[in-house]
Structure 1
Amino acid sequence: MGVKNLFAISENKNSLGSKFRQKRFRYFLKLLSSVESDPIRILDVGGKESFWVLNQFHQRKDVQITLLNLEASDLKYDNFSSVRGDATDLSEYAENSFDLVFSNSVIEHLHSFENQIKMAKECQRVGIKHFIQTPNRYFFMEPHYLLPFFQFLPKKLQYFILTKTKVSRLKKWNASFARQYIDEIRLMSKSEMSKLFPGSILYREKFLWMSKSFTAHNLESPQSKGEPGS
């Protein structure tokens, strides 16, 4: 495994981010058994078909997955559909339209806490169940840039580091892409996630005895009872 692969984006199966996502998904699979619908209707907010294919969901005829993103995309498999939409406004869907709303590392990309509140409310309105994950603001390593405590630096300094050095993911960032990321990312704390998803289990993904990320969900299964970090 090369160093560049190790520090690549989460879509790279050899990256650290991908390893954590796969561990989290195994936890999700244990919980999914509590959903008894056939087929299970899943709305993935901000997701990609490739993520589910990696986990063999293209072979599951008992699951129908709707991928909602800012732009629709072409798909390969019949049990997937792609729609254009806004995570903060799912008014095209009625209450409880889906058995489960799933979202992985999306809610921190909404610019403001007001928008994060809107997304949380919409996900809980249209989904009977939900599984919403986000990085922990107070984890020492900022996951988007892979730099320690980067989230606490002034934005001007963040921009300089990203565009003038190669310390973030071993590359210089494109100027417009760096500005977009800096403007849109707002990491969330445990207390904020608890506030946005009242009554949900807050699963804490641990690394070096610290909470790397939080997942708010209301799924139940025998395996989830007493789950460490819940």
Structure 2
Amino acid sequence: MRLHSLRFRLVDSPTSLGAKRRALRAAWLSDTFPNLADMTVLDLGGRVDSWARVPVRPAHVHVVNLEPLPADLPDWAEADHADACELPRSILSRSYDLVFSNSVLEHVGGHERRRRMAEAVRELGRAYWVQTPYRYFPVEPHWVAPGMQFLPVSARVVMARRWPLAYSPGKSYEAAMRQVLTTELIGRAELRYLFPDATIRNERLLGLTKSIIAIRRD
């Protein structure tokens, strides 16, 4: 329990290191796209409330997620329940100034689905920003577990159930297996392959690459 509260202080609380990193990334986004306040943004896998807290909010944000939709939406936002790798025609027929995705690419379920998501990103956005945790950072970020991403599936399932810094230690075997099999970190080579027209940026922590970002400017 003590270690689980440590996770909250390190990653999840509004004053945590994780929150500070997310705020820094939001500032980096607005610096990269100086016209962000006037842009239309498609956010694949994000949440509307995240955009309500950023220092620069786009003119319009369209959030697509598999989570239940928010009951009330501000006038600058819309939301759809859809799969980022199998977007409906109603979304594929549109275009956006910027397609944005933060820590989603590693969860979509294998390379072929990542390829489909990347294809949609590149076609729908005049510009894009796709961030994903870096496979070779020494600490797996979802479980805050050193080297967990390099273990066999069976060992990762055990850690997902028992590691005290996980989101919810003690989960069932089926839930842990599902979580492990839908969390696959990637490296620079695959990100370059998925986004050949992008610049790859490194987000660093203590001098080490913590996440990688594929960026295409308009």
Q: TM-score, normalised by structure 1?
A: 0.83
RMSD: 2.2
What is the SS of the residue equivalent to 2:137? coil
Of residues 59, 64, 68 in structure 2, which corresponds to 1:68? 64
> Displacement, 1:95?
6.0
Matched, 1:99 2:97: yes
Amino acid at match of 2:217: L
Gaps of 5+ in 2: none
1:64-103 alpha-carbon deviations (Å, 9 max, x no partner)? 0001011433234110111011111235234661111000
Whole-angstrom distance in 1 between the partners of 2:51 and 2:116: 26
1:109-151 alpha-carbon deviations (Å, 9 max, x no partner)? 0120111111001111111110000000111010000011100
- The residue that corresponds to 1:224 in the other structure is none
What is the SS of the residue equivalent to 2:52? helix
Number of residue equivalences: 211
Structure 2 counterparts to residues 3-82 of structure 1, below 5 A: 3-9=6-12, 12-34=13-35, 39-56=38-55, 63-71=59-67, 72-82=69-79
Residues 160 and 180 of structure 2 are in contact (CA less than 8 Å); yes or no, is this contact kept in structure 1? no
> Displacement, 1:217?
0.7
Residues 7 and 169 of structure 1 are in contact (CA less than 8 Å); yes or no, is this contact kept in structure 2? no
Q: TM-score, normalised by structure 2?
A: 0.87
Residues 106 and 183 of structure 2 are in contact (CA less than 8 Å); yes or no, is this contact kept in structure 1? yes
Of residues 184, 188, 191 in structure 2, which corresponds to 1:190? 188
> Displacement, 1:169?
3.7
Percentage identity across aligned positions?
28
- The residue that corresponds to 2:80 in the other structure is 83
Gaps of 5+ in 1: 221-230
Structure 2 counterparts to residues 183-222 of structure 1, below 5 A: 183-219=181-217
